[in-house]
Amino acid sequence: MRIILLGPPGCGKGTQAELLRNNTGLAQLTTGEMLREAVTQGTELGAIAKRHMLEGTLLPDEVIIGLMAERMRSPECSEGYVLDGFPRSLGQAKGLEKVLEQLGHGIDHVLSFNVPEEELVRRLLGRGRADDTEETIRTRLKVYAEQTSPLLDYYKHKGLLRPIEGVGDIKDIHLYICSLIEA
């Protein structure tokens, strides 16, 4: 099974990706974590990532598509995966489609997390990550609205979109997701 988690920063997709990995055995591909690792390791990718992450802007599509294509082809992903934080633009969604064509499979579900904006800001400010300052949060929410939210329609048209109420008990949300993907 292959699943995309879609939603604004702070919507809880990282938490739910981890629960899915632990309870279903699907691989978890979290772009933000991969980029933070690259920053820590001081790689070339890390240098590009650092600048964009502190600004709250997206890295160029081709950089992210290349990174994800490599991971999706790896043996850890052979039984399926959860994409957490990718795709984040129409360009990335189209790039993903090409990679999936080459791999000969498709996406089963796109889970879209709905959380009110004031709750997102409250959660992000409480998290204390380097890119969770008020200014960067504002930019990231704007980038989500402008570049990522068009993907909601894109996947709705493909009949893949599954809305998730992202406010509530973390375990209840996880159980709801399990019931959706098992149905």
- Residue 147 has φ and ψ, to the nearest 5°, of -105, -30
Q: Considering beta carbons, is residue 28 or 179 the nearer one to ligand AMP?
A: 28
Shortest Å distance, C-beta 179 to ligand AMP: 26
123 among known catalytic residues: no
21 among known catalytic residues: no
Question: What are the structure tokens assigned to 106, written together?
Answer: 């498709």
Shortest Å distance, C-beta 18 to ligand AMP: 13
**Which residues, in sequence order, are CB contacts of 90 under 8 Å at separation 6+?**
147, 150, 151, 154
Shortest Å distance, C-beta 180 to ligand AMP: 22
Q: Considering beta carbons, is residue 58 or 161 the nearer one to ligand AMP?
A: 58
Question: What are the structure tokens assigned to 127, written together?
Answer: 């998290």
Chain residues that interact with ligand AMP, rule: CB under 6 A: 9, 31-32, 35, 52-53, 56-59, 64, 85-86, 88, 92, 131, 140
- Residue 60 has φ and ψ, to the nearest 5°, of -55, 140
88 among known catalytic residues: yes
CA dist 92 to 64, 86, 104, 183, Å? 8, 7, 18, 28
162 among known catalytic residues: no
142 among known catalytic residues: no
**Which residues make beta-bridge pairs with 2?**
81
**Residues assigned a catalytic role:** 13, 88, 127, 129, 140
